[in-house]
Structure 1
Amino acid sequence: MRLTRRARLILLGAMTPLLAAVMVALFSASLQGPSIDTLYRLREMVHGPKPAPSPSPVVVVGIDEETYRRPPFAGTPQALWGPKLGKALAGMLDGGATAIGLDLVHPTSVETLIPGFEREYLLTLRRGGKEGRLVLAKVQHQSNPLMPYRGYMIAAGAGNIRSVNLVEDPDGVLRRIPITLLVTDSQGGPPRPEPGMAAEVASRALGAPLVRDADGGLSLAGYRLPGGTSNRMLVNHATVAGAIPTYSLADLHACAEAGNTAFFEKHFKGKAVMVGTVLDVEDRKLSSNRWVTKPEGVNLPERCALPVVSDLYVAGLRRDSIPGVFIHAAAISNLMARDGLAETGAPVGFGLILLLAGLAAAITLATRPALAALGLLGVVALWSGVAVESFQAGLVLPYLQGVVGVALVFPLLLGFRFAVLDRDQRRIRNAFKLYLPGSLIDDMIASGQSPSLGGEERELTILFSDIAGFTKMSEGMEPEALVLVLNRYFTVMTDIVEAHGGFVDKYIGDAVLAVFGAPHTLDNHARAAVDAALAMARAMEEDPTLLATDSGRGSARIGLASGPALIGNIGSPRRFNYTVMGDTVNLASRLEGANKYYHTPMMVSGETAARHGDPDAFRPLDIVQVVGRGEPVAIFEPLSDARRADPADRARRAAYARALADWQAGRFDAAAAGFRDLAATDPAAATMLRKAEARCGHAPEPGWTGITALTEK
């Protein structure tokens, strides 16, 4: 069974979005990372930089360029920094830091060479470990992890060592932190989950353990961690400059040396602390906020003992990478402030993409490609707004996936339309465009059905045009040359008819039959037809080559009539025409012929003049009774704009109207006198003069109405 066009549209509108959504879903994982990065950028454009929680629950102690430059660190091998680092750690512990994570792995120590050199450092590690406020770092490998020096592990305690591994996405960008990692114990038992550095520090700072829920997800202090059973949380970076307060290790060491415990209490009490490298080149990572990073060294916290090194930072310099310790710190802040980013699951994401693709399909199928493209831009803009506001609220929608889905639907549907749907439209249009009006073909295409027999009676205006002097014009012409002349004339006349809302029903020899008011209605079909007739006459005046031959030039006569007519597909099931028939058609043809009697280029029926609505657009000619019609009809001549604006012509028309009134009243002598004054310049007046003179000196017959009976068609 052949589907209708509407059914195929519905099927195409349903299948194309599904195809686009499936195609996007296949590459969704690759698009998710750039989508998140784009949302960071869009969020900042709309809402500005994301502020950090106030006050920040986490701070960073940076082993920075300043630390390497200032004594006692400057010129000292890093292996000998243990006692200095321990002094700063002790200050933080004394100041009330709730948890300290060391994002440093020192697998060796000078303690083996210089016994007692790191005694104070080891005691600080022991204190922090016993109090549950210190976490050392290890780097988890596939087999043997990179562990801290054994003495450090013994001092801090084996249960206070956590992995600082960060897992990159396939494009090399760090967007998520592992909440837990699988580790293997020294006895070679099965792998077991262990909290990562960020989760461990946040857990100790909050004083609450990490809990695995029944469905495999994780919770911390009643906060259901985003990331589901994958145990990877998407980091929600604060993007204002200096979002995470960062202190220089050099300044804190000097502060501890000075015994300024008040500074440590003010800035570290109740805080989670991450200690790590924050250099220009070492341990820098690409993160999801890489397109909205800020210059470093801005909004630094209060200093304790040392001023900021003046040439440490380059003003305005932005880098697309950040030190890894800041990723841990941002994750700890998310866990403690409960503002991590949650990602939609695959089913919800697919549903959203399918919804957007379906909307795009509806717009694409509902309108022209140019307007559809604008509509799709509007859909993308709306989707961008929804995605940004959701991102601001902590929910990551599949933004780029949705955009790609919308973008895929447009070419897919256009291709399908051209190859499948529009092919049938083109076939129908090409098959019928030479025989049916364009508007009727459009209706056929919209309905998906071919034309069928049937007609209706409608109020129409019929224009009938014929070539005066056609026989003389065509004498001696070769048939091919005559056809060329006629075709050019018909082309010009047809274009004028269609430009005024009508259509050409047929060509009858050298005649044109045009219809106004069907198949689609016009606000005023009589006015449209009159305007078309005047335009046809004007075209003949402006182009002297129309109907010009060596034997002379033809001229056009036009008749117009308005009234009821039968129009529709008339004929047999195997062959029919969309045509018009009825008394109104016959009247238009008779009025065209009546122009020969009155020597006028065009005339309209009284009904047409009345429907036109502007009495000043015509001059009355006479009342006639045409061949084959019992009822008389008033006839009028349409006036061009030039004639309406000419005072002399206006005066002549008034004189003609007075003479016509005398004629119709039976005052033949007065009528003849009036027409005589106009006959030299007005062929219609000359015709009326002959009729009036034939009756001069005679009284009108009883029942005289002034009707002229025309005996020729």
Structure 2
Amino acid sequence: MRLPRRARLVLLGAVAPVVAALVTLAASSSLQGPSIDSLYWLRERVHGPRTGIDPSPVVVVGIDEETYRRPPFAGTPQALWGPRLGTVLGAMLDGGAAAIGLDIVHPTSVETLIPGFERDYLLTLRRGGKEGRLVLAKVQHQSDPLMPYRGYVIAAGLNNIRSVNLVEDPDGVLRRVPLTLAAAGPDGRPKAEPGMAVEVASRVLKAPLELGKDGSATLAGYRVPGGEGNRLLVNHATAPGAIPTYSLADLYACAEAGKADYFAGHFKGKAVMVGTVLDVEDRKLSSNRWVTKPEGTNLPERCALPVMSELYVAGRTRDSIPGVYIHAAAISNLIAHDALEEAGGPAAAALIMLLADLAALVTLATRPPVAAAGLALLLAGWSGVAVEAFQGGLVLPYLQAALAALLVFPLALGFRFAVLDRDQRHIRNAFKLYLPGSLIDDMIASGQSPSLGGEERDLSILFCDIAGFTKMSEGMEPEALVTVLNRYFTVMTDIIEAHGGFVDKYIGDAVLAVFGAPYAIDNHARAAVAAALAMRQAMADDPTLLATSSGRGSNRIGIATGPALIGNIGSPRRFNYTVMGDTVNLASRLEGANKYYNTALMVGGETVRHHGDPEAFRALDIVQVVGRSEPVEVFEPLSATRLADPEDLAQRTAYAAALDDWRAGRFEAAAAGFRALVASDGAALAMLHKVEKRIGLPAEPNWAGVTALTDK
């Protein structure tokens, strides 16, 4: 049993989104990273760079290129920098730094070679460790971690050593920071130990990280959003200098100069990360890689030394950042409670399905070009929703849902073309040569074939015939004549359809067209008149139309407006969508009446009244056509060129005056008026012949100037 088209449409609307969503969900994990990176880029375009909280709760002390170039660091092996680093650490502790994390691991020391060389540095480590304000780094390598030099561990305390491991996503980009890592406990069993960022934030907030039985993590009342592996998704501040960065060289000179106020003003209550910020070392691809800013911009106030020139290339941006900034950004998120939270699995799947459903609705409800535009608007709206959610700290499955919507489009279109639209194409191909396109659209929309029946409607009927057809076709081969007629009919039909009409039928060399059906148009009389003028203009513009070796034909057009019966008329086995009635007959008679007045266009009075602009016509006469008892006032439509011609206006005015004399029975005056116009006006010549026949005859009672036409 074949399902009705509507049922198949509903079935497609349900199946296509499910298929697209399932395909997308299968690739969701690999799309999540690029999706987050895309949202960083979009947020930057919409809201500008993210500044984070001001002032920043986190600062970075950078072992930078300037440090390597300035004395006393320049030319000195880094293994000998311990005492100078200790001087800076001590100054920051004195200045009130809340917590200091060293994102550097020194597994060896010259203390073993030069006893006492690092005594002051070790004392500073001991002080920072005892006060709970200093955290040293270790790195987990294979089964055993890479630890700092044993003397540093003893000085700082084993409880002040934390891992700085950062775990890359499968595409090599660092987007998340582990909240905890596995470490060996006192009993040798593995335990969950806070990572460097969490530990430093915990020291600043003076609260430990609490792990719930459900795997949740809470820090100072803030339930930290954590995804797979309990990792924090970093929400980077992307404004230039959002995390203030100080050069170790400048701070050392500042400490040596005894400027304690500078350290108190810049480091009091802050979380401090000390690490390498070189051009080539320890650089990571991060989730903000498409919105990074030039380095060395918006630096904080210097203490003792000016910024060394030629360190930074103006305007240069890179997609990688020093790893210390990832830790610093995570610490800022933990303190400010503004880490990114990813939409959970069920919620993400529901959003993907929703967008796929909307895409299916758009695709199936409209034609493909409109559907494509609708899909673009849908994706633009989804982008806006995803960006605003991202601005608020929520990561929606942006690329995944967009991909699902994009997959629905070809799936639904392919099914429509192969199955649903096949029926439409069959109906359209079967009836396109016999019925107007709008009626075929109705049939397709209803899913029903046409049936017998009609209705009476107010319409404008255009009847066009070829004048001089017999002479034009003399001596022509049938094939050649058909070629000439087909080209002429094509041009005329295109003009009629361009003005909202449709061709009912071709009758020999004549064309019968309808305006106002099957769909109503604003002013069918105006449309019919405009089409007639355009048809005449096409004949003037192209002298090859209806041109043969025996001569060239021309066309005459009559238009009538009024009630007519239109619909599917015939027998159940063969019928046409056609029009019939007195209005149709009148249009045909008016076309034939043109030859009496030497005109090419003629319309009835009802057409003029429906048209609404009497100035666009000139009155010709009042006639009584064959087969009609009531007289009809007839008019000639005027082209834009004639309406704008003052000489033509003068002639029309003179014709109107002579016509008034004719209708009033003033035949001598009418004859004089028409006679003055015959040189340039064929209608005036026709009227003059009629007037001259009346001169000298006795007056008729109830004279109204009606001309009875004797043939069609």
Q: TM-score, normalised by structure 1?
A: 0.85
Q: Deviations over 1:643-680 (max 9, x none)?
A: 665256436623652453255xxx88888888888889
SS of the residue corresponding to residue 622 of structure 2 reads strand
Distance 1:692 1:88 in 2: 121
- Give secondary structure in 2 for the equivalent of 1:282: coil
Task: Quickly say closer, same or farther: Cα 1:426–1:699, change in 2 above 3 A.
Answer: same
Deviation of the 1:580 alpha carbon: 0.9
The match for 1:131 is: 131
Cα shift readout 1:421-473 (whole Å, capped 9, x = no counterpart): 55444443332222122332333344443322221001122233334454454
Alignment correspondent of 1:323? 322
Give the match for residue 632 of structure 1: 630
Partner of 1:147: 147
Contact 1:31 1:400 in 2 (8 A): yes
Could you tell me how far apart the structure 2 residues matched to 1:433 and 1:504 are? 12
Match of 2:440 in 1: 441
1:307 corresponds in structure 2 to 305
Deviation at 1:193, TM superposition (A): 1.2
The one-letter code sitting in structure 1 at the alignment partner of 2:662 is L
Note if contact 2:605-2:635 (Cα within 8 Å) is conserved in structure 1: no
The aligned counterpart of 1:56 is 56
Q: Is residue 175 from structure 1 mapped to residue 203 from structure 2 by the alignment?
A: no
| Equivalent in the alignment of 1:244 | 243
DSSP-derived class of the 2:36 partner: helix
Cα deviation for residue 283 of structure 1 reads: 2.0
Shift of 1:265: 4.1
CA 1:694–1:618 in 2, change beyond 3 Å: closer, same or farther?
A: closer
Do structure 1's residue 429 and structure 2's residue 428 form an aligned pair? yes
Counterpart amino acid of residue 340 in structure 1 = A
Separation of aligned partners in 1, 2:269 and 2:543: 100
Classify the secondary structure of the residue corresponding to 2:390. Answer: helix
Alpha-carbon distance change, 534 to 314 in structure 1, aligned in 2, over 3 angstroms: closer
Moved more, 689-698 or 454-463: 689-698
Give the corresponding residue for 2:226: 227
Preserved contact between residue 655 and residue 684 of structure 2 (Cα < 8 Å):
no
The offset of 1:180, in angstroms, is 0.3
The one-letter amino acid paired with 1:569 is N
Aligned to 2:193: 194
Distance 1:533 1:65, change over 3 A: closer
CA distance in 1, matches of 2:271, 2:603: 97
Whole-Å separation in 2 of the counterparts to 1:318 and 1:525 = 65
In structure 2, the CA distance between the partners of 1:80 and 1:698, relative to structure 1 (3 Å rule), is closer
**1:109, 1:405 → 2: CA distance?**
57
- Counterpart amino acid of 1:96? G
What secondary structure does 1:140 align onto?
A: strand
Question: Counterpart of 1:289?
Answer: 288
Given that 1:101 and 1:136 are in contact with CA atoms closer than 8 Å, whether structure 2 keeps it comes out as yes
For 2:673 and 2:253, locate their aligned partners in 1 and report how far apart those are by CA, in whole Å.
124
Rounded to whole Å, the distance in 2 between the matches of 1:452 and 1:170 is 64
- In the alignment, which residue of structure 2 is the partner of 1:343? 342
2:97 maps to: 97
Output aligned runs, 1:197-596, within 5 Å: 197-228=196-227, 230-253=229-252, 262-301=261-300, 306-308=304-306, 310-311=308-309, 313-316=311-314, 317-363=316-362, 376-540=375-539, 543-595=542-594
Aligned to 2:24: 24
User: Per-residue deviation at 1:222?
Assistant: 0.4
For residues 192 and 679 of structure 1, do their structure 2 counterparts lie closer, same or farther at Cα, with a shift above 3 Å needed? closer
Distance 2:264 2:673 in 1: 120
Give the letter for the 2:103 counterpart. D
Could you tell me how far apart the structure 1 residues matched to 2:86 and 2:537 are? 104
Contact 1:135-1:201 within 8 A present in 2 as well: yes
CA separation in 1, counterparts of 2:241 and 2:608? 84
Please say if residues 619 and 638 of structure 1, whose CA atoms lie closer than 8 Å, have aligned partners that are also in contact.
yes
Judging changes above 3 Å, is the alpha-carbon distance between structure 1 residues 236 and 594 closer, same or farther for their aligned structure 2 residues?
Answer: closer
Which aligned pairs between 1:606-625 and structure 2 lie closer than 5 A?
606-615=605-614, 617-624=617-624
Could you tell me whether the CA contact under 8 Å between 1:390 and 1:396 is conserved in 2?
yes
- Which segment drifts farther, 133-142 or 586-595? 586-595
Cα pair 1:49 1:238 within 8 Å, conserved: yes
Which range moves more in the overlay, 389-398 or 449-458?
A: 389-398
Q: Which runs of 5+ in 1 are unaligned?
A: none
How far 1:380 sits from its partner (Å)? Answer: 4.4
Give me the whole-angstrom Cα distance separating, in 2, the residues matched to 1:314 and 1:532. Answer: 72
Shift of 1:412: 4.8
Inter-CA distance 9–83: structure 2 relative to 1 (3 Å threshold): same
Using a 3 Å threshold, how does the CA distance of structure 1 residues 648 and 141 change in structure 2: closer, same or farther?
closer
SS at match of 1:177: strand
Helix, strand or coil for the counterpart of 2:448? coil
Question: How far apart in 2 are the matches of 1:345 and 1:223?
Answer: 18
CA distance in 2, matches of 1:298, 1:413: 51
Task: Give the match for residue 662 of structure 2.
Answer: 660
Moved more, 147-156 or 513-522: 147-156
Cα gap change, 1:680 to 1:233, in 2 (>3 Å): closer
CA–CA distance in 2 between the matches of 1:707 and 1:46?
A: 76
One-letter code of the match for 2:655? R
Shift of 1:177: 0.7
How far has the Cα of 1:328 moved from its partner? 1.6
Deviation string, structure 1 residues 46-68 (Cα, Å, up to 9, x no partner): 44433353343333333344444
String of CA shifts for 1:259-297, please: whole Å, max 9, x gaps: 665554444433333333333332222222333334444
Q: CA separation in 2, counterparts of 1:548 and 1:297?
A: 81
- Percent identity between matched residues is 73
Count of aligned positions: 706
Q: Which amino acid aligns with 2:312?
A: V
- Distance in 2 (CA, whole Å) between partners of 1:710 and 1:496 is 30
With over 3 angstroms needed to count, the CA separation of the structure-2 counterparts of 1:703 and 1:230, relative to structure 1, is: same
CA distance in 2, matches of 1:543, 1:367: 39
User: Structure 1 residue 145: deviation in Å?
Assistant: 1.8
Per the alignment, in what secondary structure is the counterpart of residue 484 of structure 1? helix
> Match of 1:521, SS?
coil
Is residue 216–residue 229 contact of structure 1 (8 Å, CA) maintained in 2? no
TM-score, with structure 2 as normaliser: 0.86
Q: Structure 1 residues 354 and 640, CA, compared in 2 at 3 Å: closer, same or farther?
A: same
Paired residues of 2:461 and 2:561 also in contact (CA < 8 A) = yes
Mapping 1:30-41, distance limit 5 Å:
30-41=30-41
Residues 99 and 273 in structure 1, CA contact (< 8 A), matched pair in contact too: yes
CA distance in 2 between partners of 1:571 and 1:165 (Å): 86
The one-letter amino acid paired with 1:125 is L
CA distance in 2, matches of 1:601, 1:298: 81
- Partner Cα distance (2:567, 2:448) in 1: 15
Relative distance call for 1:152 and 1:416 in structure 2 (3 A) is same
Partner of 2:152, secondary structure, is: helix
- CA shift, 1:88, in A, is 3.9
Cα separation, 2, equivalents of 1:670 and 1:75: 122
Counterparts in 2 of 1:329 and 1:477: CA distance versus 1, 3 Å: closer
State the secondary structure of the residue aligned to 2:141: coil
Q: The residue matched to 1:139 in structure 2 has which SS?
A: strand
Distance 1:261 1:651 in 2: 104
Deviation, 1:166, is 0.7
Judged with a 3 Å threshold, the aligned counterparts in structure 2 of structure 1 residues 546 and 314 are, in CA distance, closer, same or farther, namely closer
Please give the alpha-carbon distance, in whole angstroms, between the structure 1 residues aligned to 2:543 and 2:408: 54
Aligned-CA RMSD value: 3.8
Is the CA contact 1:676–1:685 (under 8 Å) kept in the aligned structure 2? Answer: yes
Change (3 A) 1:153 1:472: closer
Question: Deviation of residue 128 (structure 1)?
Answer: 3.3
Once the two structures are TM-superposed, the CA of residue 578 in structure 1 deviates from its matched residue by 0.4
Q: State the distance in 1 between where 2:98 and 2:680 align.
A: 114
